[in-house]
Amino acid sequence: MLSVRSLATLRQNNFSYMNRQTFLTVASSVALIAGGLATFYPSLLLIGKGVFPGDSVKVWMTEVGILLIALGIVNFLIRKHPASPTLFALFLGNVLIQLGLLAVEVLAYTEGTITKIYGILPNGIIHVLLSTGFIYYTLKMEISDSRLITQTDTNAP
């Protein structure tokens, strides 16, 4: 068990429980698992939320699953990249995805589209944790180029 004193020592030694690479590995794993389930077992996820798995809803869930798989692959491939304007943009996009998915699920529950609270609770917790992590690592990013978002390509036509 960690004591307050040992936590203070770890902080003084610049110890981090999870570095950016590990966080991206976890985030990509979550996206790949959720995306795989949504792609190959859309009815299972929908029933778990209390939503009738009609054909059109299953198509939409499968599309979202494919997008999550793609996001998981991108996050996995960039996990070792150094801070850059591109990495900043990818992290910002991940924040927007997580917060957007959270908002949609909460709204769907309050409007009665998702009928079971346990259908949004696990996802809600994951969305909050992932968005917090992406915000944390976005703010922690140190990029020597001060033109973070407005970087121009000198080779552009």
DSSP one-letter string for 74-137: HHHHTTTPPS-HHHHHHHHHHHHHHHHHHHHHHHHHHTTSS--GGGTHHHHHHHHHHHHHHHHH
Range of the domain at 82: 18-140
Dihedral angle over CA of 128, 133, 135, 139, nearest 10: 160
User: Which tens digits make up the pLDDT trace of 100-121?
Assistant: 999 999 999 999 999 999 889 9
Average pLDDT over residues 11-15: 52
pLDDT of res. 7: 46
Distance in angstroms (rounded) separating the CA atoms of residues 74 and 90 = 9
Residue with tokens 């970087």: 151
Number of domains within the chain? 1
Q: pTM for the whole thing?
A: 0.79
Residue 134 forms part of a structural domain:
yes
Asked, for residue 25, whether it belongs to a domain, the answer is yes
Residue 6 has pLDDT above 70, yes or no: no
Of the ranges 45-49, 86-90, 134-138, which one carries the lowest mean pLDDT score? Answer: 45-49
Contacts of 64 (CB under 8 A, 6+ apart): 35, 38
Within a domain: 130: yes
